[in-house]
Structure 1
């Protein structure tokens, strides 16, 4: 299905007038394709830097960095009668909710569809290659989309991520219908609309997220805490991601083996002369502050009771076996959150189980009896 005819130029939308004109043109379209590009690898606080919206005829590239009011898009994303195609929608939906407060209804996610169909290579590039014979260049996947102006090749890359979703969606949808899996897919598309924006933990807990922290004693944890606070302040001041200021490995090494003098900093992997000049005094002060603060102890984790853990184990074994039979990943059979809710609440009857699984009715109708029987057998054993 590879079409070698040249594509029309994408339409750059960076003024309120052009945005309003685009909205008038697309609001009557029954299906739209959507993608976004962000700048998480380049700034302290990530933001959406480009929104791609395609119709079957046109590709629009919206510049949210130049537009101060995108509220006109809200009714489109929330319209239950207008389908929005995404690939791997979770990240895009989270970013659009976080930055603009959009609400979503009626999605079709081509990655979710591919996973339900048991397609092993479900990334966009391999899917386009396999299903459409289209090769796309993914070199700009990690590009800085916050720069302006964007090059012609970056604009072309961006538009292709939404341009071919219509054809891909049609192929995958027909496969879902043929295998009687469309209802399951629609169940997951609805869940994709409801994904929540993560709430960042308190900054005083950052040290527990650094790899290697589990080897630290409480006094060392206090040092690592101060180093994390210092790094966060520097990253915010420079508008850079944390890893571009100091690596986690460097912070742990400084914690485990603190330098005795400023000039020793240059001997640490990940430090150089420029960094020592810019951050050396601040790091030494931070290390001293960490050594003098009270020890920091992690909140003890409460181990779940043995009955709960056994139910989780049994449900996971059943899920894995069923997934093999259907040739899909385990979470397609039953999402982890639902599995753990079932194990936690241990439903006393079918009505209780149906209530727990109310967001996944296809799965309840298909697997509810098996799950309930499994739990009852476990209880009786």
Structure 2
């Protein structure tokens, strides 16, 4: 295990950040707990350059500002693996996202290593090291942390700092670095992590397009979001999604009716939180037509022919992704394939840039009848490739 520092005071953190300022890149990871809270509780930050490694303890008497500034304000490239939750934590603390950012899980898709390669598999592939998973389920909020736990946590960034240059060289050799730009920008879009209560209803699965029911769902989801934030509890600990959807579709006439709602305690018929829930129902207004998203409007179902074309596009995507040595998910999503099969052409990423070259051009040719599949000597072949 490479040497590293455990940082528990602000002066030491400032000194660490000065040492890291000239680094070519920073490998960053976090350990957190979120099972019983609305906001993830940050318990440890691991950071490494090619020469320096450290674990920073946010639960100590420490001001994280120097570290957060280094992550969100500096031009140094930040390297993470499956960075979504780490970026969320940084955003919650700063209202900014790390940039520039390199996510090794996304990069692995461009290098043909599957759609969601684990960090352990990535380390084994590039470094030939089998990671010790013994501390994976550690309660990171308990203090003191054992050396074994810290070694495990810091290894995540020291190994990342070792394998990143190899991945980068592979991307350069294959000329695929630019393939990642759009996905990295999407990953760091602040809108992904900004959750205004008024938009919370979009995360709840709801069948139907009734404007009044959707309006109640919007009001109820906003109410639940505020309750969860105020109490710092997971949304589901307030009211589960399925109960929220049921209330939106079949609202009780008065608070006493909450006693008969599956998923709620009978005490809600008389307590304060039940009263606040009923206010949310009573204050709801029908959702305006322009607010109803495509899925709630009932995205037009694919007809028999379009459904067959979508299936053929999925087959073509498998063929082309295998040939290109890139994960199919990085090229196109099932929703985009269905939109293409349905006749849409605007705002489809698979018809732009490198995706068009790898797959989109042939996908259009297939949809327009210029390309077809054939089986020759037991192997799948393409016929009628466009000029």
Alignment TM-score, normalising by the size of structure 2: 0.67
1:26-57 residue CA offsets vs partner (Å, 9 max, x unmatched): 23333432112344444334465533111345
| Residues 1:78 and 2:75 are matched in the alignment | yes
Task: For 1:369 and 1:223, locate their aligned partners in 2 and report how far apart those are by CA, in whole Å.
Answer: 44
Following superposition of structure 1 onto structure 2, how do residues 246-261 of structure 1 map, counting pairs within 5 Å? 246-253=239-246, 256=250, 258=252
Q: Describe the SS at the equivalent of 2:37.
A: coil
- Aligned twin of 1:3: none
Alignment TM-score, normalising by the size of structure 1: 0.67
1:48-77 residue CA offsets vs partner (Å, 9 max, x unmatched): 553311134542123456315236515884
Q: Describe the SS at the equivalent of 2:176.
A: helix
Following superposition of structure 1 onto structure 2, how do residues 111-126 of structure 1 map, counting pairs within 5 Å? 111-120=105-114, 122-126=117-121
Aligned pair partner of 1:184 in 176, 183, 186: 176
Following superposition of structure 1 onto structure 2, how do residues 1-381 of structure 1 map, counting pairs within 5 Å? 6-8=1-3, 10-46=4-40, 48-64=42-58, 66-70=62-66, 72-74=69-71, 77-79=74-76, 83-93=77-87, 95-97=89-91, 99-100=93-94, 101=96, 103-105=98-100, 107-120=101-114, 122-131=117-126, 132-137=128-133, 140=136, 147=141, 149=143, 151-152=145-146, 154-173=149-168, 180-181=173-174, 183-188=175-180, 191-192=183-184, 195-197=188-190, 198=192, 200=194, 202-211=196-205, 213-214=206-207, 221=214, 224-225=217-218, 227-253=220-246, 256=250, 258=252, 265=259, 270-271=263-264, 280-286=270-276, 288-289=278-279, 292=282, 296-297=286-287, 299=289, 300=292, 301=294, 318-333=316-331, 344-345=345-346, 357=352, 360=353, 362-363=354-355, 370=362
Task: For 1:223 and 1:216, locate their aligned partners in 2 and report how far apart those are by CA, in whole Å.
Answer: 12
Q: Residue 196 of structure 1: CA displacement?
A: 0.5
Q: Residue 242 of structure 1: CA displacement?
A: 1.1
**Does the C-alpha gap of structure 1 residues 246 and 144 become closer, same or farther in structure 2, counting only changes over 3 Å?**
farther
Task: For 2:355 and 2:255, locate their aligned partners in 1 and report how far apart those are by CA, in whole Å.
Answer: 62
**Does the C-alpha gap of structure 1 residues 319 and 242 become closer, same or farther in structure 2, counting only changes over 3 Å?**
same
Aligned length: 349
1:68-116 residue CA offsets vs partner (Å, 9 max, x unmatched): 523651588413xxx54321234434543553335523x5432223222
- Aligned twin of 2:374: none
What 5-or-longer segments of structure 2 have no aligned partner? 371-387
Q: Residue 188 of structure 1: CA displacement?
A: 0.7
Superposed CA RMSD: 4.8
Q: Is the 8 A contact 1:346 1:375 kept in 2?
A: no
Task: For 2:197 and 2:224, locate their aligned partners in 1 and report how far apart those are by CA, in whole Å.
Answer: 11
